[in-house]
Each structure stands twice: as structure tokens, then as C-alpha cells.
Amino acid sequence: MTRPIEYLKETASQTAGPYVHIGMTPNEYDITGVIAEDPGVTVISDGVKGERITVQGRVLDGAGKPVFDCVVEIWQADANGIYNSPAEHRAGVDPNFSGWGRQAAGENGEFSFETIKPGPVPAPGGGFMAPHITFWIVARGINLGLQTRMYFSDEDAANKGDPILAKARMVGRDHTMIGSREGSTVTFDIHLQGESETVFLDI
């Protein structure tokens, strides 16, 4: 006789919290002796190539109130559009640029990263995507981390040709993915819900 296949049952889902921000960045909360330095504290090192910028903003809930118990991560290409990743098949990545940062939001939901403006990266179907920084947000009550992108307000021509922004533009929400640049500072607020909800990507 054939025997029934025994499938493993799905593990029950759980929310990340309420102390995910402390667990991921213990030194930020004076919990020492766990790891020497919180991962992702530094994105750039001396000698990094490209235009240095500060990316700042706040994480806000559906009522417009700051989310203080969350972690924000960024991923991006270097100034030449090359990722510092084992999956990157192109040579020439900047050794002084990690391409990744992590930070716990402050009491007012604020975050700030010192990084460089990324170059355009190849699009899957050919051509190039506009310069952008990928954001990942995890917090109490969020089952799966939320992923979005921040594009630059000073890249109008490139933004018009970006395939991701084009999809968001179809429903009039592309503006939620644009960081406002003034000088070397780019401001990008992330709205988790509500009328101003940021576009999140199902990736």
C-alpha cells in the first residue's frame, strides 16, 4: 500500500516586537557585550567615491504619529551603479562603500543615514532604473518587513523612465516614493498607512 505523504505544518506567524528595535541594535540602547558594534552603523568609509549626501526622514503611522519602535534599513548601489553584493556579477565595486545601513528610529520616528548618491542600475528588461535607495522597515505589529524605494527629486528625466515609478504613477502615488532634495540633504518620510501611505513593494 502507498503511504500518505506527511507534510510539515506551516509555522505560525508572529509579529516582530515589541522590542525588535532593541534586539537588532542593542548598542544603541546601551546593551553592551552582545556585539562589538551594531551592524549597519557605517555605510561609507574614508575614500568613498561619489557625491556624499544625508538621507533623513521619519516613519509615521496612519494617524501621522511617529513610530519610534522600528528599525530602518537601506540598500543601494555605489556611485557607479554597482552593488556590494555576492550576487553582483559586475566588477569595480567601491571597496569603501558597504551599500547597506541599519538604524533604529528615534523618539520622533526619525532616521538619518550618511551615504552617497547611487548611480543608475540596469533594469531587468533592459535599460536603466533611476537612481534610488531601497528601504526596509520592521516594527511592532508588522508581520513581514515593508520594502519601498526612495527616488530623488533632482532626477526628473530618469524618474520618468523608471519602470517601478511608472507603475506607481498609474495610480497617482509615485510622489510617495520621491525624496525631496535640498543641497546635500534628501528628506524622505515613510507613511505606513493612511491617505499618504508610501508605496510598498511586494518582493
Neighbours of 31 (CB within 10 A): 13
Residue 4 lies in a domain: no
Please check the confidence at residue 201 and state whether its pLDDT lies above 70. yes
- pLDDT at residue 155, as a whole number: 97
pLDDT tens digit sequence for 61-120:
999 999 998 999 999 999 999 999 988 888 999 999 999 999 999 999 999 999 999 999
Percent of the chain whose pLDDT exceeds 90: 73
pLDDT, residue 11, reads 79
1 pLDDT more than 60: no
Cα 74 to Cα 1, 10, 33, 135: the distances in Å are 54, 30, 25, 5
- Could you tell me the pTM of the whole model? 0.89
Determine the Cα–Cα distance for residues 38 and 28; give it in Å rounded to an integer.
Answer: 8
**pLDDT of 177 above 90:** yes
CATH of the domain at 94: 2.60.130.10
Looking at the structure of the chain, the number of domains it has is 1
Other CB atoms within 10 A of residue 29 CB: 13
Domain span at residue 145 reads 20-191
pLDDT digits (tens, 9 = 90+) for 30-44: 999 989 999 899 999
Q: 196 lies in a domain?
A: no
